[in-house]
Chain A
Amino acid sequence: MIRLGNVLVSPGEGGVYGERTLDGYRVWDPYRSKLAALYTLGGGLDLTPGMRVLYLGAANGTTVSHVADYVETVYAVEFAPRPMQDLLEVARRRKNIVPIMADANRPEEYAPFMEAVDLVYQDVAQPNQVEIAEQNLAFLKPGGHLILMLKTRSVDVRRDPEEVFAEARAGLEQHLDVVDVRWLEPYHHDHAAIVCVSSIY
């Protein structure tokens, strides 16, 4: 990952969502992007130029644009029409983003477009986040990684975030090895980043 001093940046054409630029690099703000928060906190898995990424919950494409600056191809899945319009605009200017309008709950909808990927990144505000991750493991290469941004408040606002997290972790460990866990304080509240790796058969 590229850092200028302490500032996380990504290479690429600026002006995607009004982000600042620094020495020709695009500043990747940890307060806006959960993935940037994870990297700023010293966690995560470095994005490399050869990577293919499945991005679930692409929303307006702000974080997607930074990921696309680092990797070879991003499959960006988003369900809601309005954010999708913004995402299409981002994808128009970044030739390595494949915008897919589909529900991450229903991988069969976009399976005909998917290659095997090195990284599944998931940031969806759904109560069944772990279940969604499990369903999308079909696209993960052996030895590939999953980064799940667990929004504990989306699972259940009334429950203790730690408790929600423990349950999610147990669910993931049935299929994957959890290699890193980080709460995204102070950038995002009640969000845990869970980095997992799939075993190589």
Chain B
Amino acid sequence: MIVSVGWYMTLAAGLFSLGAVGVLLRRNALVMFMSIELMLNSVNLTFVAAGGELGLIEGQVAALFVMVVAAAEVTVGLAIIVAVFRRRGTANVDQLSELEG
């Protein structure tokens, strides 16, 4: 059986869903962030698979761009998490909430 593009898509969908679960259910800010990275990776996989199926190089180009943005985002996001940790002493997003509504 040949691996068709649908396999890759389904796998990517699965990874995406798992990433979503991680964002919604984990309380550690770092793990949430990593889940977001997982989601980005699944999207990258989709891009490259679709590009291969359509014969367009743009799929890989898009994936590259996503990677650049993700890298920049990780940089700044981690800096924020560190700054928050320094001030509040915790990386648990539930404990960081100040709203009492």
A and B held together in a complex: no
